[in-house]
Each structure stands twice: as structure tokens, then as C-alpha cells.
Structure 1
Amino acid sequence: MGSVNVNRNLTDQFYRYKMPKLMAKVEGKGNGIKTVIVNMVEIAKALNRPPMYPTKYFGCVLGAQVNCDVKNERYIVNGSHDSAKLQDLLDGFIKKYVLCASCDNPETTIFVHQKKGTISATCKACGYTGNISLTDKLSTYILKCPPDMNTGPGASVSKKLKKKDKKDANGRSSPHDSDEFNDTGLGENGDDDDDGDWCENPQEIEELTGGAKKLTLNADLEKSVDDRMQMFYDYSSKRLTAETIDVAVQKEIVSEAERLDVKDKAVLVLCELLFKDPLKLQNVIKANRTLFLRFTAENTKAQKYLIRGLELTIKLFPNELLPRVAPILKIFYDLDILDEKVIIDWSSKKKSAVKQLASQIHERALPFVKWLKEAEEEDSDDSEGDEEDEDDDVEVVYDERSRPDKIMEVKEEPKVSPKKAVVDAIKKEDDIDIDAI
């Protein structure tokens, strides 16, 4: 039995991640024909995944019923399938559920958060953490049957399935000793039997995954907000090493904030890490516009925390930043990082994260806030005037050179408010669509 590269797109003979070449054996005839994957357990160990996952993947792709007998280590796909075909299908499973999305190394571990309905993967090689897209039936199965990390690489979904046969009062074996499942939810004989697919039993799922939850990264959600914020700070401080952060790093930072459920407050950490030089603060904001937008776009809470982070930064550098409060707010506004309504609400409540400087900060921001309000009122007046009479924009002009019965209509150019003119000018210079990144 030979071996192949886990990532078969790489032909390097010195590639150190190997797995056994898939061996399939066709058994039976007619309607009872089936394919046994002889070395599925060895392959699963090499991939660090439960053997049921790639077997179930074959069933999903081929539309065939599968049978996983964990006790006897027999993994079967109904129908006749040759080894080469199954090996090619296995590449699809490896690409989505094994290889790291960042470095393509197979040193990943998957974690399931059933309450949130997400599956994440963490790479031991590069430290990348990200969610796996839930686009096929296998992801639904994994959500129901998370891996038991206590059993080590390639382990089955639960230690419970490895125990000896348990006999009931009538001497029958437990239905869990032979794990059968298929895409229709029916047992091997086509009966709608709940015991045929142990993953459909919610109580059983809870028992099987109780130990695994404690060992997943998502157990971090059980920690306090302060602890999770500190974890996010430690993670981000290692990646925010340059004035301008590339897109890949930005996505990693956002993904970590989502994993720790601190996306709203994450901007506090960004302020602490990025605003270390008060003299370069405005340039840093412009350079990292897209990073801030990933957190604040259509997120009022994050915008409020961003203002709080700015206030805390002003507290550290009052002499340098107090005189520049209005220009800094205007930069945030011009770059669409802060919305007009959020700034006005903040100024009207006159609350601040820095009590001793609250009055001074609001006083320095007053000219910009006043300009925002005036621009808002002007826009409101313009819109009301347009609704009253559309004919007001039309001027009747008499032309002596033309016949008396001919009249020309001249439409006035629409008025542009000062605020809109400023925003349009900025967008022409720096128009970045975050959704296109």
C-alpha cells in the first residue's frame, strides 16, 4: 500500500504530509453491491478527522447510502466505486475540511459551536483561524456530530462508540454499535427508524459532545468579556505591525473578533494599537480606512465604541490631540467610518469615557458638530422645497429671435449642499468599496 501527498496539487517528493493511498473493495452483487473502503481509519488518522466525515462526504457527493461500523472499522458506500474515483472525491473533502485556507497546510483542527451553528478551523502551522462555509450536507452532519477531541487524531465522533457491545434485556445489541446513516434519514432497510441514525437523537448528541465542548476554541466564549478582549489584543498586536494592514491580515483580525464575539468593542483595541503616535493619527486613520470600515460599517455600536477609543487616546495625548478633536472627527466622517447621526447623538448627550476631559472634548468638537447640524438642516430644507413644487426649477424665457408662439424652458442645476460637496470630493479621491475586497 503506497502513500500520496495529502495535498495532491503539490508534486514535491519531499512534501512531508502523507496519507495512505485509498483502497476500495467491491462486495456483493445486484442491488446489494457495495464498496468497502479498506483503509479509511488510516486515512482519517493522517487527516486528523473522524473516519465518518470523509465516508459521509462520499455519500453526499455520490447520492449514496453509507454505513459506518465503528466497532469493526468497516466504512461502506453503497454501489460500485473504484479507488481512483473515490481518491479524487477525497481531494474535495481535504480542500474544504482539512487544508488551511491561508497556508494550505493540513495541520488544522476543526471546532464546532452548535449554539451559533458555525464550524471553524484553526491551523497549528500559521495560526490562522476562520469559519468553514456551510454549503453542503456534510457540514450539517458535522454540526450535529462534532468531533471528540479527547480521542486524538483521526478519532471517531465519540469514545462511546468504541465501547464493547452492550446487550439489552432481550440480548440484542445496542443500535449504536453499528452506525448507519444516509441522506434520506432512513435506516438501511428503508425504515424511518430513529435508532438507525444516532446523530438524529438530540439527547444522544448532548452526551457525546459534552466533553468536546470544553476543549474547543469556542470554549473561550465562556470567559469574561475582559478576558476575551485581552485575547483579541494579544492576537491583533502580533499582526498590526505596519501602518497599512493588507487585506488578508484585516480579514484574519475580523474573523478573530467574530470568534471571540467582541466585534463591536474590537475598535477599542484598534485605537490602542494604531494610535500610538499622536502626530501621525490622522494619516493612520486614512491608511486603515478599510480596516475600520470592516467593523463600523452599518454598526452603530462599533461606531460609539470607536468614539470612546478616540477619547481614551486623547486622554493619553491631551496636549497634542485636544486642539485637533474637530479635524479628527471630520476625517472619520468624511471617510464614512462614523455616521452623522452617531456623532450628533454623542455630542448631545455630552458623555465621555474620560470624565476629567469630557467638557473640553465636547467643546473642541462643537464647531464640527454645529457644521453637521447646519448641513443637515440645509439638506432638509432643500428636500422640502423640491416636494412643494417641481415647477419652481423651471424658468420661462422669451426669445426675441424666435417666433412669439415659441417658448423655451430652462432647467436650473440642482443645488449641492456644502456637506455633500465635501463628501463627494473625498469619495473621488479615496473611493474604496469594502464589499469588493
Structure 2
Amino acid sequence: MAGFVNVRRDVDDKFYRYRMPVLLTKIEGKGNGIKTVVPNMSDVARALSRPPTYPTKFFGSELGAQTSVDEKNDRYIVNGAHDARRLRELLDAFIDKFVLCGSCKNPETDLIVTKNEMIVRDCKACGERTGVDMRHRLSTYIIKNPPKKKNKASKGGHAEAPSPSGEANGAVGAGENDEAETGDDDEMTKRIKAEALVLNPESQLADEGWSADTSSDAVKARVGAISAGVANLGLSGGGDDESDEDADSPYTQLGNWVKENAGVNAVEVFKKVQDLGIEKKHKAVQVLAQTLFTSDIITEIPDYIPVFQKMVTSEKHQKSMLGGIERLAGVEYPDLIAVIPKILMEFYQADVLEEDVLTSWGTHVSKKYVDKETSRKVRKASEPFLKWLAEAEDDDDDDED
């Protein structure tokens, strides 16, 4: 039975939490048909939170050898005879280039392929996003075969590596967004943004009665409504362990603090959330989406993307965030309903909101966060973006066919 080694083999601490199985090799065939099989490649890759095809292709690239992958039968082969020591050295090189954080050297990272086809290592330990060597042949393969999305319910989670005794030893496989990587928009993105830009309160939305009453009485009423909304944030989200229905709840404190410190930077926002002990709570995401932004949200979003990338770790978080956006646009700044497509696009491109969640949200009117009519208006305004999502998915399916 194979033993276990530290993911970073330069670390000799026997209590180092990141462990992986020792890479095994088996020589098969002879003559021109000789090949090296890696029987436990799947186990090694799982401990690194990488697809097993990545290290296999890396070996082939470094050795100048052809590789064969049979995922169905769990066989990963490198042509030629290669001893285990050499492949373990190459595995260390793969870990250094495509697993370890470029900043803190922690292996708890995820590979992310950005919209402009760059690859970054997103570190869950220090929060930094560091690039990989895009000149390496494996980078081209990763772009064409990006990592599959994690299960939404466990986004950012990592399986524990088994100990030699077969029990979990707390070792977390390297595993997933803080400043957003943005590049040139493709044509479809440009088109949806252009469509969103022409939407305004005087357009069809206004014709359907979606324009805002800007009289002083109406403004006062909306301010009162949003203040009441902040005071009762605990009633609109539901589901957290503690009771939030009083003015002293951490969510009310957070909402009031953000309002009192308008323009505060992202680092201070996250520090405040941590101080309140709610950095993992989905309702905290709702509060921030509802209170951090003003009517100038499109220019403000990039400043706070790191906060949401850090805190939005599940489908429930995403739904709460969308609820906060509904309240922001539907109650406090009704004029923002016209730019809902642009708002959703910004968060989607930053990998904060996922396609499946957005599609489901767009087709189900809800009165959980706002009244039903306002919910309907927000979703109606989002239709150009949702249509673009559907068309982009269809294009991807056509390409695969």
C-alpha cells in the first residue's frame, strides 16, 4: 500500500496538514510499445484538487512523450519507460507551477480560467490570485479543458486526504474569486452591455409604469422603507441559527455601519464582517448587496468584488445576494432597475454569480425580499442578460457537437 507525503515535499513537518499519496508507477509492454502507467493518479490528483488529466499531460509535456487518458477505466499512461523518482520530481514541478499559491505557497488553491483566457490560482488561505506560466503547453490544454465547476452547495470546499491508516487526518486537498480578472470583452459581452446601456427609465420600462416618482414625499417614503428594511434584515432572509429580529442583530449593525461609513474600502468592510462573526452567513451577503452601493453602482462594483468573491461560497449565498440587489434596485434606487443587466453582468464575469443560479432566479418571481410586483419588474429588466446567457450556452453546445 502506498504511503503518504506532504504536498510540499520541501516541508518536513510530519504534522503538515496537506498530504497526498506517494505517486506510483508501473512499466508495461516492451520495445516500442513500452509505457508507464500511473495506477494511483486519480488519488494523487484528488488530494491536489486538480483533474488527473492535468498532471498526466504535464508529464507528457516535460518528457516529450505522448500520453493516454482513459478516465472511464481510470488509466493514465505516459509512453516510454520512466522511473517513479523522475515522475515524482515532475509532480513536484507541476505542484509548484499549477497548485501552490504564488504568494503564500499554500496548496489550497483552485484554478480559474478567466473570461480573457488567462489562468489564475485562487488561494483560499491568503486570498491572493496569482497567474501561472501561460507559455507552458499545459496552460493551453487547461484553457481548452477548464476545471469543472464544483457542486454549488460546497463551493470552495475541499475533500480531506486519507491518512495512511485510512482515516481522515484533516488534510485538505488544495482547492478556488479576490480581485476580479477582467480583460477585453468578447462580442457577445459587448452586445449585452450595449443593450443594457440603451435601457433607461424613458424606454419601454417607463412605458410600463416602471419610472420612479421623484417628488419629495416619495423620496422620503423610500428612505423610510429602506431604513425599515435594514432594521428588519433578519426577517427577510431567514434560516440563520441565531435570532436576528432585534435592532442589535449583527446584520442590522452591519447595515447601519455601512450606511454611516459610505465609501469605506473593501478591506475594512470584510474586517467589520469578521468582527461581527458573520463572514460565512448568507444574510450578511444580502446586507452588503443592499447597502454598499449607491445609484452609481456600476462604477462601484469593481471596488467591492473581492468582498463578494470571499463571502459568496454557495448557491444560498448567491440567492441572498440577488435578494439584496432586488431590494437595492426595487426599493432604494428604482432607477437602477433599468441597468439590472449590467449589474448582473459585472458579478457574473467576476464569477460571483453562476449561470444556473441566475437562470433559476430569473424565471421565478418571489416576494421574499420585495413585493411581488417589484420582483417581477426586476426580473423583467434582467431579460436581455438572461437571453444572452441562454444564447451563449447554446453556442457552447453547438461547438461541442
TM range (shorter): 0.3 to 0.5
Higher relative contact order (CA 8 A, sep 6+): 2
User: What TM-score, normalized by structure 2, do the two folds share?
Assistant: 0.40
Larger radius of gyration: 1
